[in-house]
Structure 1
Amino acid sequence: MKPIASVELGKPDGPPVVFAHGWGRTHADFLPVAELIAGHARCILVDLPGFGATPRPDDAWDTHEYAHFMRETLAEITGDQPYIWIGHSFGARVGLRLAAQTHSPISHLVAVAGAGVKLPRPLWQQLRGQWRSAQFKRKKAQAQDEAAIIALEKIYGSADYIHSREIGMRDIFLRTVAEDQTNDVGRIIAPTHLIYGGKDTATPPAEGRVLHAKIPQSIYIECPAFDHLSVLTRGRHQIANVIKDILTEARP
């Protein structure tokens, strides 16, 4: 695996704060937040493997491999200094996995629109999902060429599922979305903030409430006016204020 692409701003000798973006995104998503705290910390914004300027892994990684890679990579960047992890969506999935490791290097976790747990679904939703899946498989088996398969995916698949083919990450996408960290996040000992947009349908607030119930030292924050992406833009001050509070509390 080649070195990770990253951008740094802020105080080179400040406490390290790592920013990890969501699926199909890049470090640029967190620039508005990082700029707000740059006077207080060393901000390290990464392109996770397979996104932005960082090449994809050679194999089909799940979040275990992503967390292992990020732990080794960041040890080289920070010199084994503990860091605050700010993750959005997929970046939060990886952060949850890394924070649950033994002797985790994460001193504080901020999961923004964090994914990683499975929510119970009403029976009608389960049946509808099974019916759509069966329809997709049947029509896919009858498709004459790849163009027909891609057309079917646009009808039956989610936006991220469709995009995963376009960026050559379908195998990794399927592995990571199939995971359920519900029984693992209880091992997280780092103080954790969970920030969710009330209008988020990609990772709804219900996921944050499940994580809040499972993670011992967690605080749940819901921002009613924001959705999955606007929580990073219009909601940047909320995230920045949480980070500033963490940095203030961490001062000797």
Structure 2
Amino acid sequence: MSTPPDRAGDPGTVTVRGRAVRCRVAGQGPPVVLLHGIGRTLADFAELHDLLARDHRVVSLDLAGHGGSAPLDEPHTLAALARATAESLDALGVDRPAHLVGNSLGGAVAMRLAVDEPSRVASLVLANSAGFGAEVTIALRLLALRPLGRLLLRPSRAVARHTERALFHDARHVTAARLDTALAAARRPHAARVMLELVGSLGTVRGVAPGWRAELLDAVARLDVPLLVVWGDRDRILPAAHLDAARARLPRARTHLFPDTGHLPQVERAAQFHHLVTDFWAAPPARG
């Protein structure tokens, strides 16, 4: 391990099967794992990470092929990201069931990991998660059209600003630091390939594919694990109507809709999000 991630809570790297994984670890207590969305980084959980680290051991990861984490030697699919996440947790010594918190694609990764290795999971918190409907922003659907996808993924500050603006209801969150982080991630030599592999495995120009969603949600519904699904009512990436689908497909789940909030409620409503999840963990819903 170089630049150990638990020193002063700063990001560092851990080596997993010869591959560098960027991570941030802080705090003591029950383990919490924070998983970001497609094309994003662990920076999307910076505020929540700090709040949770007061009384939890919090692990934020750059998913395989994202941010500062090296790409896999296999196609980047939901199952591959879940396996890589499990291997990273092993490398970090997370040896007890963890609360998984996933935003967007990270929510689908968390669900896949819970289905594939349920003994690793204490609860699932899904924030504006992929998997509950076909509808998704046109910007992601167009990536399924090659070579248009590669053209759209050429890094530029204008594109980064447009993307960041789409993620938030409150434009004050579109800061220079967030733009710098997004640009740095987009400029990684493998970034476009990873994005196109993921988009191609999860959907088409028509939207998120139904096959993997149905299989995954059916399997999650059978799990004996507490579930919390939250959404921002002004999400322009995955519409808030998907929360109704979550209630129908996962009837045991607790749900919450944040007002005047976009695709990243853990950023726009960090304090409320923290309060909501810690209350959920303290008094989880009745199982089964």
TM tier relative to shorter chain? 0.7 to 0.9
TM-score (ref. length: structure 2): 0.67
Aligned-residue offset at 1:222: 0.7
Take 1:55 and 1:87, find their aligned partners in 2: how far apart are those partners?
A: 20
Take 1:242 and 1:4, find their aligned partners in 2: how far apart are those partners?
A: 29
Structure 1 counterpart SS, 2:124 = strand
- Which deviates more from structure 2 when the two are superposed, residues 70-79 or residues 231-240? 70-79
Structure 2 counterpart SS, 1:205 = coil
Aligned-residue offset at 1:120: 7.5
Take 1:212 and 1:198, find their aligned partners in 2: how far apart are those partners?
A: 15
Equivalent position of 1:232 in the other structure: 266
Aligned-residue offset at 1:45: 0.7
Equivalent position of 2:26 in the other structure: 9
Aligned-residue offset at 1:75: 2.9
Higher Cα radius of gyration: 1
Mark the runs of 5 or more structure 2 residues left unpaired by the alignment. 1-16, 137-141, 156-161, 165-185
Letter in 1 for 2:27: G
- Which deviates more from structure 2 when the two are superposed, residues 41-50 or residues 64-73? 64-73
Letter in 1 for 2:56: A
- Which deviates more from structure 2 when the two are superposed, residues 165-174 or residues 188-197? 165-174
How many percent of aligned residue pairs carry the same amino acid? 24
Alignment of 1:87-98 (within 5 A): 87-98=102-113
TM-score (ref. length: structure 1): 0.76
Equivalent residue pairs, number: 222
Taking a change above 3 Å as real, the CA distance of residues 152 and 200 of structure 1, as seen in their structure-2 partners, is closer
Taking a change above 3 Å as real, the CA distance of residues 152 and 67 of structure 1, as seen in their structure-2 partners, is closer
Letter in 2 for 1:192: L
- 1:18 is aligned to 2:33: yes
Aligned-residue offset at 1:211: 2.2
Displacement over 6 Å in runs of 4+: 151-154
Letter in 2 for 1:7: R
Aligned-residue offset at 1:216: 4.4
Structure 1 counterpart SS, 2:116 = coil
Take 2:50 and 2:152, find their aligned partners in 1: how far apart are those partners?
A: 41
Mark the runs of 5 or more structure 1 residues left unpaired by the alignment. 122-131, 141-145
Aligned-residue offset at 1:65: 1.3
- Give the CA RMSD over aligned residues: 3.2
- Which deviates more from structure 2 when the two are superposed, residues 163-172 or residues 99-108? 163-172
Taking a change above 3 Å as real, the CA distance of residues 102 and 28 of structure 1, as seen in their structure-2 partners, is closer
- Does the aligned pair in 2 maintain the 1:75–1:81 contact within 8 Å? no
- Does the aligned pair in 2 maintain the 1:98–1:104 contact within 8 Å? no
- Which deviates more from structure 2 when the two are superposed, residues 106-115 or residues 175-184? 175-184
Letter in 2 for 1:29: D
